[in-house]
Amino acid sequence: MSSVRTTYIRLKSMLPEGVRDALSAINQRLFARRTLLRKYGSWFDVDWRKNFQNMSQQEWKRAYDEAWKHRNNDCVEETDAELILKALAEKGTVLEVGAGIGTLAIRLAQEGFTVTGVDVSAEALRRAAEAARREGVIVDWREGFAETLPFADKSFDYITCCHTLEHVKDLASVVAEFKRIALKRIVVLMPKQKFRLYAENYHTQFFESPDQLADAFGLSRYDCREIDCIDHKNEFQGKAFLYIGELGN
């Protein structure tokens, strides 16, 4: 990402919240839908946030496969990977949910974790498997939905989920699955965001404060903090939350 654009985003983030909201409301009402149609063309479902509740699993997979055919970068940055690695502490088994093209899963495998990467998109996993082969690491790649994970209770020490919780259809089911499967910790990185009807992504879940995320998981021992991702060179620029939930006694 160019430094001009980073500067623009940073300057915008310094505006009072009310001004930012007003500008965004004008953009949403007058330009956003048309701009997205012009930029992405027919493969992108500009009305995703109106439609996603009625989508079947097949339609969901197809949409993400199509998205991954048109995208070349993931969202996770080296700095995110470092934060997540720190949150995992001891080595063990990791289920990386919403693994995408595999960057975090591969990084964790390189650090000595035993990693399974799950994603709805076969296209993403095909690219992830190629990248793992290139890097010479072994990751068990599985197609699946975060809402119905095909794994036994307490079968992984850690669950990591980076820039994906904001994409799921049914947040309550995903949270229940994470708590069922993780033995030690759940680590989630996701954007701090207000709902906007039109945007360049298929986001469905919106969190504006760390408390909302902590409440969604309902674990008594956790850490949730805001982190600044504005300088990210990849897709995501903004603020994010890093949530670390502790399981067990």
Ligand X SMILES: C[S@@+](CC[C@H](N)C(=O)[O-])C[C@H]1O[C@@H](n2cnc3c(N)ncnc32)[C@H](O)[C@@H]1O
Binding site for ligand X (CB under 6 A): 64, 74-76, 97-100, 104, 119-121, 124, 145-147, 162-164, 167-169
Which helix (H) or strand (E) covers residue 67, if one does? Answer: helix 57-70
What phi and psi, each to the nearest 5 degrees, are found at residue 93? -95, 140
Shortest Å distance, C-beta 49 to ligand X = 14
Shortest Å distance, C-beta 22 to ligand X = 28
* Residue nearer to ligand X on the CB measure, 7 or 148: 148
Which token pair is 248?
Answer: 């067990």
The closest alpha carbon to 247, from 210, 218, 209, belongs to 218
Shortest Å distance, C-beta 234 to ligand X = 8
Shortest Å distance, C-beta 145 to ligand X = 4
Shortest Å distance, C-beta 14 to ligand X = 26
* Residue nearer to ligand X on the CB measure, 34 or 39: 39
* Residue nearer to ligand X on the CB measure, 88 or 124: 124
* Residue nearer to ligand X on the CB measure, 86 or 221: 86
Shortest Å distance, C-beta 117 to ligand X = 9
Tokens 């500009």 -> residue: 46
* Residue nearer to ligand X on the CB measure, 157 or 205: 205
What is the rounded distance in angstroms from the CA atom of residue 155 to the CA atom of residue 115?
12
DSSP track, 4-42: HHHHHHHHHHHS-HHHHHHHHHHHIIIIIHHHHHHHHGG
Amino acid in position 198:
Y
Tokens 């048109």 -> residue: 70
* Residue nearer to ligand X on the CB measure, 39 or 221: 39
The closest alpha carbon to 37, from 195, 200, 197, 167, belongs to 200
CB atoms within 10 A of CB 130: 12
